[in-house]
Amino acid sequence: MTEQSVFLPVAAAYDRWSSGYDSYENPMVFAAEQIVRGFTDVQGKDVVEPGCGTGRNLAALKALGARSVTGLDLSDGMLAKARARDPAFRLVRHDITQGLPLPDESADLVLFCLALEHIGDLAGVLREAARLLRPTGRIAIIEIHPFVSQGGTAAHFRDAAGEVRMPTFPHRFSDYLNALADAGLRVAACHEWRPRDFDAPPEKALKRGPDFPLVVEFSAVRL
């Protein structure tokens, strides 16, 4: 039998994915989760995550001592999972391409994690993130490595009804660097994470070998 494949808007796709998202074997999510657990600079800080999904990162950051965690997402299904994970999370249903409904200089860390692949205008979203930053704050970006996304890998999943794909943009390094500069931000650090950088990576993460990068992490600060 031929597998059915559908292409859905981002919110609809994640609504459908939400019930099984946290149990889906996703090497990019695995890598991102390991990276976020290493954010030791968030104790006592206010954190915002546009595109927070099921709240996995919010939970990790709260456990690391963040003073407050705020998540924004367009998917009702994903937000319901985040709300069930911790009713104390501050959650907002919002399209992050339409600005961020938060005050200027209200965050010490703004985290984008596997969300910017769904954003065409990186500069617009990053300008809004920069607006939220306090003078000593930073923006963290964890996304599919350009080597991988340029090869055709993008967010998708399979469930009992078939394969689901959604709008994605395979950003290059230059796309990130130019957008950060346009937003008035400076790259303070960049890390290309490989499977061998993690303990017990899943089999899917080793598809291209232990040294082929999975995700890229940028840390950016205001100029």
**pLDDT(145) > 90:** yes
pLDDT of residue 2: 60
Average pLDDT value for the chain: 96
Q: pLDDT tens, 185-223? A: 999 999 999 999 999 999 999 999 999 999 999 999 999
Domains, in order of start, for the chain = 5-105+119-198 (3.40.50.150)
Count Cβ atoms below 10 Å from residue 216 Cβ, excluding itself. Answer: 21
Q: pLDDT tens, 8-26? A: 999 999 999 999 999 988 9
Q: Counting every residue, how long is the chain?
A: 223
CA distance 199 to 35: 12
CA distance 34 to 54: 16
Burial (0-12, 13-18, 19+ Cβ within 10 Å), 190: middle
User: Rounded to two decimals, what is the model's pTM?
Assistant: 0.96
**Matching residue, tokens 């950060």:** 180
